[in-house]
A and B are shown apart, each in its own frame.
Chain A
Amino acid sequence: MFEYAPAPESRSVVDLKPSYGLFIDGAFVDPTDGGSFKSINPASEEVLAEIAEAGAQDVERAVRAARTAYDKVWGPMPGRDRAKYLYRIARLIQERSRELAVLESLDNGKPIRESRDVDLPLVAAHFFYYAGWADKLEHAGFGPNPRPIGVAAQVIPWNFPLLMLAWKIAPALAAGNTVVLKPAETTPLTALLFAEICQQADLPAGVVNIVTGAGDTGRALVEHPGVDKVAFTGSTEVGRAIARSVAGTSKKLTLELGGKAANIVFDDAPIDQAVEGIVNGIFFNQGHVCCAGSRLLVQENVADRVLESLKRRMAQLRVGDPLDKNTDVGAINSAAQLERIRELSDAGSAEGAERWSPPCELPEQGFWFAPTIFTGVTQAHRIAREEIFGPVLSVLTFRTPAEAVEKANNTPYGLSAGIWTDKGSRILWMADRLRAGVVWANTFNKFDPTSPFGGYKESGYGREGGRHGLEGYLNV
């Protein structure tokens, strides 16, 4: 590998406070019945800040603030004016994007190149996109007078903290709802900086409330009787529990859950491009991506060639300091996640698959896992069935398009899929048959605010993004 001089992004742009309160009714407040926890930098295990943990009473306060804001301010406000607040927020995000990107990389462990070039531009774009919908809802195809639902409880994961916040808050506010959002306990910091941005935008108090905490806080929030809508992104297991908990209520539910996507490479695909797509599919964001292409299905007659190229390419990946602009793969988000990746990888070896990683020096401090592939994987192996949510790729082979479809769909999940081939008719034939909400053909892991995203089967229901994304926040 070429030697590069380190090119670290400066941390000085971020002004970290020693501790953060809850953001309720437009102000940062101390929790009344909760404790606190620490958010750490997963690349160094350094404590970044002390974070308030919201208890049931705090959740109650936040929901009440959201209700009042919905009844008195945000609900009655003309869409044209809601739009202007959302445009303001979008602009503030653009203006403060470097600060947000550095903070995201510090708290999450993702490479700065990614938070700067992917996450933040998409976050701002998402607010811009939905801002424009706020005064055009009657033209969105949901009837002449679509109404908001009320107070939305939103629980988001740690893999794209600010982007998932944008996916949740932007359409909710555009449609006229108010929100109480709980960020993940390992990545609360950018959500709290977003709260400051709401203040800076003079967003009316109570329209956005941020309650930090772990599973108990999330449960108190989604089970709160004053909530009209629940939106969750995270694991299928928690999604199931939420679906059970809202049963028998009138709460509207959308879920964006796990995945085990097949990335299918045919023998006529341009191998170099396909290899780039495979690498992007599984090693982007350390594989902490629900739609990651974690199962490579490669046509048998080109499997050796593809694997050889893939290994050569993997040896070029730079794993290390997330703030270094050269870094391709950053830190695993938490000790618990690292443990899960290790456990499943060990199961892969134990079940007979062959494990390979490039020679790769990992930092001493922090949570790290080298990019890894398993070959000789069968459909019965745990690493072919369970979501690993890490930089671990399972390689399987196929002979015919029909076999590729069969294997790709052989999973309870259905979030995404990839197809690599030069033949247009085959792309469309495959795309018709893959049971997945997003199909990337000759590309992978592309996102856009106008493009609906969400799963089939146990990957959840509802769509985020595009005109479709409004539906989950309107009374239709």
Chain B
Amino acid sequence: MSERVAVRKTYKLFIGGKFPRSESGRSYLVQSSNVSLASRKDARDAVVAARAAVKGWAGATAYNRGQILYRAAEMLEGRREQFVALGIPGDEVDAAVDRWVWYAGWADKLAQVYGGANPVAGPYFNISAPEPTGVVAVVAPERPALLGLVSVIAPAIVTGNTVVVAASPSEPLAAVTLAEVLATSDLPGGVVNILTGAITETAPALAAHMDVNAIDLTGVTDASLATELEVKAAENLKRVLRPAPAGHDWSGDPGVTRMTALLETKTVWHPKGV
């Protein structure tokens, strides 16, 4: 009796809830697999998908977003062994699940913690509340491939943003596998879009894109590339999260700043009277 021949997986992009190949037809060999080498056009397509998803995702109730993200954590937990098989340490998968659950719980809390009533000197009702900034481009950390990725995606989307993520070029399989988790979590298509390939190709297209509201440069390790991307981002005054000069500690308490950096505060006034 011959040994069973395994069915191998094709690793593709994740755009608008679908798994297309790069429109360029290119791939590159990494982690013993042919992975899509995303083009600038793929980046633009991903922005279109992300923009289309903003209305529904930002307009969903905070409770609903929290439920969907919690569901994603359930799916992530269920695929633990898949990530381990990709070489991700079990501890890291556990930490990624816990991180995702932690952020999921923020969905219906951040507006109270970060917003509130303002005691203005006059007969006015005045309230400030955070809102998502819109479409966020994210350069994910090179590694840890899963925990780093989860730690940049979850804080961006929990508040209602949608993202286009440039995944770790050297360890992209965790990102594509995470896309499979998200695709089975009731997360609307386009809320998370994942590009694999060269950061030097996708990130400049995202930084210069006029329909992107913010860019998270956490995964950019080359200082001159980070500067170039920040300069491009200035064209439409994108909100910019710079990479930490000393690197990031992904194991510690993440705090709320990754969420609040991608929020706008809206203040509404109305007179009081009879």
Contact = CB atoms under 8 A, between A and B. Distances in A.
A439 B126 CA distance: 10
A471 B242 CA distance: 17
Given A141-B113, A461-B239, A466 B128 contact: yes
Interface stretch (A178-186, A192-200, A442-450): A442-450
B265 A463 contact: yes
Contact of B126 (A125, A431, A437, A451): A451
A448 B234 contact: no
B245 A250 contact: yes
Given A141-B113, A244-B231, A476-B257, A446 B237 contact: no
A443 B237 contact: no
A440 B239 CA distance: 25
A448 B265 contact: no
B264 to A, nearest CB: 5
Interface in A9-68: none
A125 B121 contact: yes
B267 A452 contact: yes
Contact of A448 (B126, B233, B245, B266): B126
Interface string B115-146: 01011111010101000010000000000000
Nearest to A463: B265
B171 interface: no
A70 B139 CA distance: 35
A77 B235 CA distance: 40
B265 A452 contact: yes
B270 interface: yes
B227 A247 contact: yes
B224 to A, nearest CB: 8
A436 B66 CA distance: 25
Given A247-B231, A476-B257, A457 B237 contact: yes
Interface stretch (A79-87, A205-213, A235-243, A336-344): A235-243
Mostly, the B contact residues are: mixed
A255 interface: yes
A413 to B, nearest CB: 10
A431 B126 CA distance: 12
A476 B268 CA distance: 25
A240 B255 contact: no
B33 interface: no
Nearest to A412: B236
B237 A461 contact: yes
B264 A443 contact: no
Contacts of B118: 448, 450-452, 466
Interface string A243-275: 110011010000101000000000000000000
Contacts of A461: 237, 239
Contacts of A458: 236-237
Contact of A442 (B224, B255, B270): B270
A454 interface: yes
B36 interface: no
A247 B119 CA distance: 36
A441 interface: yes
B230 interface: yes
B70 to A, nearest CB: 25
B252 interface: no
Contacts of B63: none
Given A247-B227, A458-B237, A451 B257 contact: no
Nearest to A446: B269
Contacts of B226: 248
B218 interface: no
Nearest to B230: A247
A243 B234 contact: yes
Interface string A211-244: 0000000000000000000000000100110011
A73 interface: no
Contacts of A244: 231, 234
A443 B119 contact: no
A434 to B, nearest CB: 8
Interface string A411-438: 0100000000000000100010000111
A456 interface: yes
Given A143-B255, A443-B270, A448-B120, A468 B265 contact: yes
Contacts of B268: 431, 438-441
A412 B134 CA distance: 14
Contacts of A438: 266-269
Contacts of B270: 427, 441-443
Interface string B212-247: 010000000001101100110111110100100100
20 contacts: A141-B113, A240-B235, A244-B231, A247-B234, A250-B242, A255-B237, A412-B236, A431-B266, A437-B266, A437-B267, A438-B266, A440-B268, A446-B120, A446-B122, A448-B122, A450-B121, A451-B267, A452-B267, A453-B267, A463-B265
Interface of B: 113-114, 116, 118-122, 124, 126, 128, 133, 213, 223-224, 226-227, 230-231, 233-237, 239, 242, 245, 255, 257, 260, 264-271
